[in-house]
Amino acid sequence: MTNQNIASSIGFHGVWVDVLVPLQADLNVDEPKLASHLRNLSAKGFENFVMFGQAGEGTTFSADEKLSAVAHVIEAGVDANNLLLGVSSSSYTEVAQFIRKAYAKGVRRFLVSAPQYDHPYNNVGLFDYFDQLIKQTNQPSWQLFIHQLGGKNQAADLPEVTLADLKKVHPHIFVGIVDQDVHVNHTVELIRAFDTSLVVASCHEPNLTILSPTDVCVSALANVMPNVIKHVIAHDFVNNATKVPGMKVAKPDDRVTELMTILAQYPQVAALKLMLSQHYRMESWERVRPPNTLLTKEAKTKLMAAFKTFNLQATE
Amino acid sequence: MNFANTWYVIERNNHFETIAHEALVLLEEGSYVMLQNFATHHEAHEEHKRLVMMAIGDAKAKLDHLKK
């Protein structure tokens, strides 16, 4: 079975939007606005969501905050089967408890990163961590996706040997890897190693242009330009070029590169939230959760000018 | 999600509009910007009003700036 066939068989394919999370003035999750954002993406045909992943500032929210937001969006009509929920902790008991609670609300897919820990640990320790986590979760028919952070957040990535052992011991639970690493070689190596046994989804959009056609991706840019990302992973460039007024025709991969170039000098979550605040005409979308930082006034002015030149189109 | 009988706030020809799903699907792709979808006409109308009030506020600020 190839990676694409596996993706289809476990129902994890297409664009999974790494959802940006709107905040209230007190920096708690603005649940109605979050549900509204998911509803708007659904209306555009994008109904698969990663909640509290990297773009969703997942590590900054407590388990209770996440569970409350998940309950709200499900109540608002989002299908729990279309959610991949981010989980991170240094305690496998906390992760297992969180998964059980979200499972009770109908969520079946979980994105779990390696534990943050202040002592070096080896691959045996990492295997034991996830093995215990799965045993303590003790629920049927759920899916574990390992979140490889590429060295971000001080959490180690799982080595291939640990991933292989986990797959061997828990073949029905551990089904995929979401690779946050910016280096395309990292994703290519994972695909090469697990092509016939695990789904490997890349998160770094410029890598998608190299990996395409591919069957699945987790994308933060899809918050603002979902159709472009859809065309990129389908390698459907020729028929979906964007005619930007006053500029040459740009293929979807060109548009990704163009936007990534703009965002490169700024914190990505804050920059994307600024872009979304312009789309919705809601300044409140600019808020980020500490320790993430707001854009400076100067950065905001420069970015807004760059977004104007970028000229996001309705069909993107 | 089922979008039949829902309402959208869109921007078309530099104007905001509240439009039913059934009418939206008849519009040419790319001829409008879909801003938000709402379950009820009331919610869409409230958002439409907010956007118009913001546009009026922006225009007023520009005029005030010119008067100075």
Long-range contacts of B53-61 (CB under 8 A, 24+ apart): B54/A281, B55/B16
Please tell me the pTM assigned to this model.
0.90
> Measured between alpha carbons, how far is residue A242 from residues A98, A225, A252, A253, A303 in Å?
43, 12, 7, 10, 21
Chain B residue with minimum CA distance to A314? B33
Query: In this structure, are residues A190 and A161 in contact, taking their beta carbons and an 8 Å threshold?
Result: no
Return the residue in B36, B46, B47 with the most chain A beta carbons within 10 A, the one to mutate for interface testing. B36
Question: Does B22 have pLDDT greater than 70?
Answer: yes
Mark yes or no for CB contact A36/B32 under 8 Å.
no
Q: How far apart are CA A27 and CA A292, in angstroms?
A: 12
Using CA coordinates, name the residue in chain B closest to A46: B1
- Residue A81: how many CB atoms within 10 A of its CB? 12
Give residue A67's pLDDT: 98
d(CA A283, CA A270): 12
B32, B37, B51 member nearest A39 (Cβ): B37
* DSSP state, residue B53: H
On the 0-12 / 13-18 / 19+ scale of CB atoms within 10 A, A115 is buried
pLDDT in tens, B31-46: 999 999 999 999 999 9
Say if the Cβ atoms of A77 and B1 lie within 8 Å. yes
Contact between residue A106 and residue A74 where contact means Cβ atoms under 8 Å apart = yes
**Looking at the complex, does the CB of residue A77 fall below 8 Å from at least one CB of chain B?**
yes
Higher confidence at residue B30 or residue A112?
Answer: A112
Res A84: pLDDT: 98
What's the pLDDT at A208?
80
Residue A242 makes CB contacts below 8 A (sequence gap 6+) with A228, A249, A250, A251, A252, A255, A313, A315, A316
Interchain CB distance below 8 Å, A44 and B34: yes
Position A218 scores a pLDDT of 95
* A78 to B36: CB separation less than 8 angstroms, yes or no: no
Chain B residues in contact with A43 (beta carbon < 8 A): 1, 3, 6, 8, 34, 37
How many of the other CB atoms lie within 10 Å of CB of A277? Answer: 18
Inter-chain contact B6–A43, Cβ cutoff 8 Å? Answer: yes
Closest residue by Cα to residue A250 from A231, A278, A222 = A231
3-class SS of residue B23: helix
- For residue B51, which residues of chain A lie inside 8 Å, CB to CB? 281
Per-residue model confidence as pLDDT tens for chain A (316 residues): 566 677 777 889 899 999 999 999 999 999 999 999 999 999 999 999 999 999 999 999 999 999 999 999 999 999 999 999 999 898 999 999 999 999 999 999 999 999 877 777 788 999 999 999 999 999 999 999 999 987 665 557 889 999 999 999 999 999 999 999 888 888 889 999 998 899 999 888 888 877 866 788 999 999 999 999 998 888 776 566 666 666 566 777 888 888 999 999 999 999 999 999 999 999 999 999 999 999 999 999 999 999 998 988 878 8
Alpha-carbon separation of residue A197 from A7, A178, B12 (angstroms): 10, 14, 47
Selection from A112, A101, A111 nearest residue A74 by Cα: A101
Please give the pLDDT value at position B43: 95
What distance in Å separates residue B8's CA from the closest CA in chain A? 9
A187: left (phi over 0), alpha (psi -120 to 50) or beta: alpha
Interface predicted TM-score (ipTM): 0.86
Residue A281 and residue A276: Cα distance in Å, rounded? 8
Chain A residues closer than 8 Å to B32 by CB: 314
CA angle A150-A276-A245, nearest 5°?
105
Residue B17's SS3 state is strand
